[in-house]
Every structure is written in C-alpha cells, then in structure tokens.
Structure 1
C-alpha cells in the first residue's frame, strides 16, 4: 500500500502554492531518476484554501489582457497555469486539493484513470455530506468535474502530469461566496451553473467539516495510507 503525506497549508496564495506543487513534483521526479522504488517516493496530498484568484489552463486564446485586468479589478489575482480546462475561480470557503503523485505508485499510469479516481473521491465526499438531501451527485461524460443533478457544478477538476507525476487537482465549493463566479463562464460551460455544499444543504458547511470526509474518500479510492 502506497503512503501519501498530507500537507495542510491553511490559507495561502495560488502562486505560492503552485511553487510548492512544482517543488514537490520535482522532488518525486528526482527520486525516481535516482532509482528509489516507486512505492517509497514522496507522494503528497496538498490541502489549501486560496485567496481569491481566477486561473486558466493551457488554452489561453480565449482570455485577453483586458479580461485579466477586469478580473483583477474585482480584488482577485489572475494566473495562467499548465493544467487542463478553462477558467475557474478559487477563494475563501473552497477546499482545494492538489495530489502530487507518481501514478506508478498506484498501479495505473493512465491519466483518464487518475481523473476518474479524483471524480470518485469527490463524489464520495459530497454524497456523504449531502446524504440527507434528495440530489444526485455524478459526473458528466462531456465535462470534467462533479455535478449536482447534472446541471450544477460543485467541484472543478483540472490536472497536469509530467512523466506520470501529477500536479493541480480538485476544488470543492463548501461555503464559497458564489458571486465570484458571476464574472466568468466557469470552465467555459455556458448552459450550467455552479453551486456549493452550503447552498445545496441550506446550512453552513465549512472546509473544516468537509476535509475529513475528503481524506477518508481519498484513502479508500486510491487504496493508500495517509500520513
């Protein structure tokens, strides 16, 4: 069974967290190059809450400098990244998880498999928290992420991998201020909305309440030991 170190960063900027992600991935790649067994590399699960930021992935053509300036004027940062997917928002009240993993440690190097595992982790997390609410928590074939009743996105997923070492990850809206999403077309999907655990449940659900459920689901889905 692979071991994964849980690194809780608390509240931290996206740019600083991206540097930590990059450094962690570099360490794993160097370990693999040196011949360390794939079971003992420094697989790490980063948990963080970001200050307000809009991020985009590798498809940058749709976003002009004017768009970036407009979003920054709202009081948020704007960052171009190397993940998949289009524009999204990260901010207070959102649990963001960045698994920095060598996929070989988990017996499957398929990125499609990895994204499916992330989706399953989030589905199990959200389903546990909303178990008393009559909603369906699922994925959609045409769009990444996790959805409520197929039309309200509760979690975004965007990843990057280099030599089977992953960066970026998932963001679950807990008690996020949803008005931040009004200024963008989240993930480029025009005919669907975004939601949060608090919105769906009708009560305040915080990151601290969500995190234990996420860790339990992650451990079960990835069949790993969290340390």
Structure 2
C-alpha cells in the first residue's frame, strides 16, 4: 500500500496574515469537488511551516480576548487576530515554529482526536531529540506538550468535512515575556517555556525543523513532496 503524500511548504519568516491566506488557499484546494483540482489520489494535503515575522495574539472559537484586552495588546505593538481554530487566546512570534497542517484526515486514515494526539507526539519527539526527555502530553482540558507545569508547545486545530487546518506552535527561542500579557489558552496557574529556556542555549527554528519533519513523517506514516515557497 502506497504511503500518503503531504506537500511540504517551508515559508521561513512570514507575517501571520500571509500564513492564514496560504492556508485558506490550501483549504479551498482540498475542499474542491473531485477532478476540479490537480491533486493525486495519494495526496493528503500540505504541511505549512514558518516562523512568525512579528508578534501576534490569536483567539480561538472559544474566544479569550475582550475588546479592552485587544486594545491593550495592540498598544504593546502586537497584532491581534481572531481565528477559526479551537481553544482560547495564545501568542505567536519570532523564535516559534508554526506548523499549519492542512490535511484530509480520510486520506491518512485518522480521526480528529488521533490527529491532535499525533501532533502532540511529534512535539514530544522533537523535545526528546533535543535532549529533553520529560516532555509529555496531558489529559483534557490540557492540550499541547508540557515540561512539568510549563507548556512548550500549544496545539489548536480546526476541522470541517474531515479536513483540518491550523496545528501547533513550538516555542524554540520565543521571547516568553509576550505570554505574560495574557492567560495562555485560558489555563491559570501554569507557565510557558521554550526549548532555549530549558536547554540554556539558543535553539533556532531552523535547528528544530529537521527533527520535526522526521517525527511528522514517522508519526503520520507519510512521504513529503517539497513545494516552492511562495514568499
């Protein structure tokens, strides 16, 4: 049986709005009627990887930011955007690996909950490959990947007609001060960390991408086809 194929699109540093626009183009492509798009039967979608070019706070379907909070965060010099993903408010910015997985779960043989667990497994594996063996996923209501009581990777996805979007945000060398202006993901009494913070050395997004792709390929049992970055 042939492995499903995922288009790998590496975007380098990119404004968050441009990432969302590219994601929407891939969603339309996967949601199109059969025969109207040039997708082979083996193609399951795309993996969009980037590092945000600037600070942005995002809220999910459950909200998380009042108009007053939005004005306060914008006054800090950050962008604020509402998104269609699950979850509450979080932060994206330089030093963070953003992975938006636009996938047809039927072609991968996955359910939504299995997909979320697979994303968590990928982030746990990256932590292990970097030498952090205490990383783990936690049961609901906690999503993402944790090192003790500190979240190193946030996960929020959207799914409609078996097609997912959004994905994960892994803190590599993120300036963690930005998280102090919100309650990340609505979880009180927990903290946020990064690979750089835990390893006490600078860990770049570029350093993390190869082990992340290795973990993704193994977890999703897929092959990659590289696609030229549009930026």
Give secondary structure in 1 for the equivalent of 2:6. strand
- Deviation (angstroms), 1:221: 0.1
* Structure 2 residue corresponding to 1:72, chosen from 48, 65, 74: 74
Alignment-derived partner of residue 53 in structure 1: 56
Alignment-derived partner of residue 228 in structure 2: none
Moved over 6 A (4+): 35-38
Alignment-derived partner of residue 22 in structure 2: 20
* Structure 2 residue corresponding to 1:221, chosen from 219, 222, 228: 219
Alignment-derived partner of residue 9 in structure 2: 7
Structure 1: which 5+ residue stretches go unaligned? none
* TM-score, scaled relative to structure 1: 0.93
Report if aligned partners of 1:49, 1:92 keep a CA contact under 8 Å in 2: yes
Distance (whole Å) between structure 1 residues aligned to residue 177 and residue 22 of structure 2? 29
Report if aligned partners of 1:152, 1:195 keep a CA contact under 8 Å in 2: yes
What per-residue deviation string (whole Å, max 9, x for no partner) do you get for residues 98-157 of structure 1?
A: 11110011112x1111101111111111111124xxx511011021100002x1100000
Report if aligned partners of 2:27, 2:102 keep a CA contact under 8 Å in 1: yes
- Deviation (angstroms), 1:85: 0.7
RMSD: 1.7
Structure 2: which 5+ residue stretches go unaligned? 226-231
- Deviation (angstroms), 1:13: 1.4
Distance (whole Å) between structure 1 residues aligned to residue 192 and residue 179 of structure 2? 8
Report if aligned partners of 1:54, 1:89 keep a CA contact under 8 Å in 2: yes
* Structure 2 residue corresponding to 1:95, chosen from 86, 94, 97: 97
Report if aligned partners of 1:56, 1:86 keep a CA contact under 8 Å in 2: yes
Distance (whole Å) between structure 1 residues aligned to residue 191 and residue 34 of structure 2? 42
* TM-score, scaled relative to structure 2: 0.91
Alignment-derived partner of residue 156 in structure 1: 154
Give secondary structure in 1 for the equivalent of 2:86. coil
